[in-house]
Amino acid sequence: MNLLPKATTDFTQIDYWDSFFKKRGKKAFEWYGEYPELCGILHKYIRPRDKILVIGCGNSSLSSDLYDVGYKQIMNIDVSGVVIKQMKAKGKNRPGLEYQKMDATNTTFADGEFNVVLDKGTLDAMMPDSSPETLKRIDKLFAEVDRVLAPLGRYICVSLLQHHILLRLANHCSELGWMLRICRCHEAEHKSDDSGGFVFPVFVVVCTKLKSLAGTNSVLEVCLCPEQVQRMATVEDAMAAVKAMQDTALVCSGLNRCNIANTGEVVVELSRPGDVSPRYTITVADSPNAKDVTRMKFAAFIVPQGREREWLFGTPEGRQVLLENSGFDRLAVIRLHREHKYENLKAVQDETAETV
């Protein structure tokens, strides 16, 4: 059954979504993770007493999960009458969990009625490109979010943050003087990886409605690592940080699907936020004798600091010899950089474990 559209613009059509939910039935379709993967970030920015508006709710169980852990004022809207009927039936025993058929660009709610507008994949679905028609629709969405949010309210958007989407969202927040923080949701990515799907970085963008003050710049922050927030000077800096994560994920997902022996090596650099030079350089080499990618044996080799320029570690030919001697089909050669300090081997293993 073909449940996903053949063209991304299908996502913006109401009849597509009605057809989608009829085919899908009662099974939930979760964009970019479910409550267990998203709750760590959502609980930081949503208080139990907040009044929440979920736009483009679909048949996701996220709202009911939030309700069951103490969030009792949740209004859900969607353009699909089919899904709203389904969800009303599901939520009939949860007072305060409401569903209405409504367009997020033209709601009937009062000004400043909500503390949080929660968007899981809706912005991505509504903005497949940057055509004038699309931008007009997105500007209406942002204006409506601004209108229904109370002062200090948060627009929380779960997104893959394609370039054109992040650019429009960041510029919008900058124009209004809103604070914008981009958080990476590793848990959602790990679930996608476990299910065998193509792994895209998943981001939760928190836009806080602040009063615009003349002569002040809006605050722009990126939190790409847990508990590590970095202030960005410009929108371009934030976009570069996000793109680096997306490019790395693309490479890593590609490695899961092919042998690269005939095309050379893959190089990934790891840097700490704010560092000018990379902290690690990881070079991946494959054996030409490995035919079945799904059965390749993999290992990582940490080069002792100071020896990274030796022939065995610093050249493609040397790394092939190292790979052959290791007895594995794929080898990630991890080189340390002399300008950085490393506590010990265990610390290096811990620091590179997630990437490797």
pLDDT digits (tens, 9 = 90+) for 100-143: 999 999 999 999 999 999 999 999 999 988 999 999 999 999 99
Q: What is the pLDDT of residue 213?
A: 66
Q: pLDDT-based confidence at 193, cuts 50/70/90?
A: low
Among 287, 251, 246, 290, residue whose Cα is nearest residue 267? 251
CA atoms lying within 13 Å on the CB side of residue 276: 1
Q: Structural domains in the chain?
A: 8-252 (3.40.50.150), 259-352 (no CATH)
Mean pLDDT of all residues in 241-252: 81
- Residues linked to residue 54 through DSSP beta bridges, in sequence order: 76, 118
What integer best gives the mean pLDDT of the chain? 86
Q: pLDDT-based confidence at 12, cuts 50/70/90?
A: very low
Q: pLDDT-based confidence at 355, cuts 50/70/90?
A: confident
- Cα(first)–Cα(last) distance of the chain, in Å? 35
Give the distance, in angstroms, between the CA of residue 262 and the centroid of all CA atoms in the same chain: 32
Tell me the chain's radius of gyration from C-alpha atoms.
Answer: 23
What token pair was written down for 300?
């990582």
pLDDT digits (tens, 9 = 90+) for 146-172: 999 999 999 999 998 999 999 999 999
Q: What is the pLDDT of residue 98?
A: 97
Helix (H) or strand (E) holding 184: strand 179-184
| Amino acid making up residue 140 | K
| Amino acid making up residue 196 | G
pLDDT digits (tens, 9 = 90+) for 30-52: 557 889 999 999 999 999 999 99
Q: What is the pLDDT of residue 66?
A: 98
Q: What is the pLDDT of residue 23?
A: 62
